[in-house]
Structure formats: structure tokens, C-alpha cells
Amino acid sequence: MLLKALEHARTVAIGGHMRPDGDCTGSCMGVYNYIRTWYPEKDVDVYLEDIPESFHFLKGTEEISHVLKNRTYDLFISLDCGDAGRLGFAEAAFLKAKDTVSIDHHISNPGFGKSNYIKPDASSTSELVYELLEKEKITKEIAECLYLGIVHDTGVFQYTCTSPETMVVAADLMSKGIDYSRIVTDTYYEKTYVQNQLLGKALLESALFLDGQCIVSSVSRKTMDFYGATPKDLEGIVSQLRVTKGVKVAVFLYETEEQEYKVSLRSDSEVDVSRIASYFGGGGHKKAAGLTMKGDLQDIIHSLSEQIKLALSEGQD
């Protein structure tokens, strides 16, 4: 469906979700490089917010636009994005575009494109992009993008979203000559000193609740300012909380502004945290979801714990 939509388009825009992660960046850059390589006559722009420094080795990342151009595209390709609003500054271009495509694996995606390729069970949008491209036209540079995306959304092939097909796709991408080991160490495991310090602090100050089935920790704005940290420096904390023995749901919060918190939820297989997130106006996946909540920290944790408790008791039925 992607290649068919591309056929009729002369001008193309690509966009992913706000605060782009590995899969968002990988899928967007994979499609971008594919079009640049095999459809040189097409005029293509890729719109993303700032991406992590460690992703800059991917081909074409210096061509990412952070400001919307005032033009009407023949086709807008939305990748790894659950709804148009999550496209952030690129949403206006999506709404104006003559044709739109949504390729995604978020369970909450209602199919907001004119054509849609949405598979909630897929490991990553990057894996879906692979399915839609002509395999022999996937160059080493394109393979690097898609491999990075798959690695990040599967936690290096660890999460249960990893399927036998995921491994087949990863194997084919490896065969393109990519430095798969470096992609994992440099973009996934490497942490800065500040990131490790914040991780340590969050672990030290974490608390168990609901009979040790839940764990919570938070980072205040004051702490972020002290370390000169940005939200990106907090990635991975919630996953580390989640692997605590006996824990079924991990909750991590950080203060975005006075009385406002960004909440990340992670679960083992039992609890669907995307439902808890949706309840409070957020979204995501069964085992990884996020939301924003306003109010006093203790009140927010209390409200969340009530919903988690409910979800845990349903799981036992």
C-alpha cells in the first residue's frame, strides 16, 4: 500500500510522533532514504522533533526539518504515530495533504490515515515498513534505520512483541552488512554520566506498593535542573523499575511544570497498561504506555494506584 500511494505522489512528507524514539526515527528515516534512493524525482521532506545524538549516524538525519514548510503535499506518510495530534508541529501538513498513509503498531491507532497499515502485534513500525518495501531495494543505509527501530522497540529482541518474523526481518537486515553490534551498544545501552546518576537516584528513592506488585518513583523539576537533565535523560528508568522481582506494574513520573507530571507505565504480561493510560487520557501499548496528569504528586499516585489495583484484580479472575 505504501508503494502504491507513492506512485501517484510527486511531493511527499514523512512524520512521526513527538519526542521521537528509536522506532519512530528508524521507520521515518528508513522510508525517507528509500524514497531518496529509488524515487529521486520525488520531492520529499521528513519532519521530526530533535532526535537523540546517537541516532545521527543514520543517513539523512541532517536533512530532517524541524520547522514546517508552507506547502501542500500530495502524500503525507505518518509513521509510528497513534493519532494526528501526536505528529506535533507536522500535524498541519498531514491535515492539508491530498493523500495520507498511516503505518503503525499502536493499539490505540483508530486508522486515521486515508489508507492504513496498522498491526498492533507487530514488534515495531520499522518491521512494518520492512514488510511494505521491496526487499532487494533495502540498502545498507536503509537497513541501519530499520534495524535500529526494531532493536529499540523490542528492547534488543527481549520483549514478547518480538516474533519469529521479527527475527527473520532482523536477519535479512543484518545480511545487508550493517554494524549491528555497534547499533545496539551505541544507541541502546550507552548512557551518559547524568543519565546513570538520575537512574541511580530514581531507583534509590523508589517505593513498592500494592503488596510489592507495583513500584513507583519520580523525578522533580528541581532535580532535573540540578543535573541539567532533559526528559530524554530519563529514558530507561521505568524499564529498570519494572524488572524488580515481584513487580507487575512500574510507574515513573517526572515533573514537566508546576503540578503537571508525565507518567510512564510498564507492565509484565498480566496488566494492560494502555487501558490505564487511556482512562486518564493517555495511550500506548499493552505493556508500555504513557500519559500526562495534573495535580499533586501524591494525589496522582493515589489515582493511578486505584486503577492499577482494579486492573490487577481483573487479571486474577
Residues of this chain that interact with Mn ion (CB under 5 A) are: 23, 80, 124-125, 153
DSSP notation for 211-258: TTTEEEEEE-HHHHHHHT--GGGGTTHHHHHHTSTT-SEEEEEEEEET
Cβ of residue 153: shortest distance to Mn ion, in angstroms? 5
Nearer to Mn ion, 23 or 144 (CB): 23
129 vs 214, beta carbon nearer Mn ion: 129
Distance of CA 150 to the CA centre of its chain: 11
List, as one string, the DSSP characters of 1-17.
Answer: -HHHHHHT-SEEEEEE-
Alpha-carbon distance of 286 to 271, in angstroms, equals: 7
To the nearest whole angstrom, how small is the minimum distance from the Cβ of residue 15 to Mn ion? 14
CB nearer to Mn ion: pick between 94 and 304: 94
In sequence order, what are the residues at sequence separation of 6 or more whose Cβ sits closer than 8 angstroms to the Cβ of residue 65? Answer: 45, 46, 47
Helix (H, G, I), strand (E, B) or coil at 314: helix
Using the minimum distance from each CB to Mn ion, give the nearer residue, 89 or 159.
Answer: 159
> Rounded to an integer, what distance in angstroms lies between the CA atom of residue 117 and that of residue 128?
8
C-beta closer to Mn ion: residue 80 or 144: 80
CB of 244 to Mn ion, least distance (A): 25
The rounded distance, in Å, linking the Cα atoms of 47 and 40 is 18
Nearer to Mn ion, 158 or 175 (CB): 158
Report the DSSP pairing between strands 99-104 and 115-118: parallel
To the nearest whole angstrom, how small is the minimum distance from the Cβ of residue 78 to Mn ion? Answer: 12
Alpha carbon distance 44, 36 (integer Å): 7
Please report how close the Cβ of residue 90 comes to Mn ion at its closest, in angstroms. Answer: 17
Question: Measured from the CB of residue 108, what is the shortest distance to Mn ion in angstroms?
Answer: 12
* 5 within 8 A of 35, measured Cβ to Cβ: no
Least separation in angstroms between CB 125 and Mn ion: 5
Give the CA angle between residues 317, 299, 228 to the nearest 5°.
115
Residue 146 or 301: which CB sits closer to Mn ion? 146
Residue closest to Mn ion when measured from CB atoms: 23
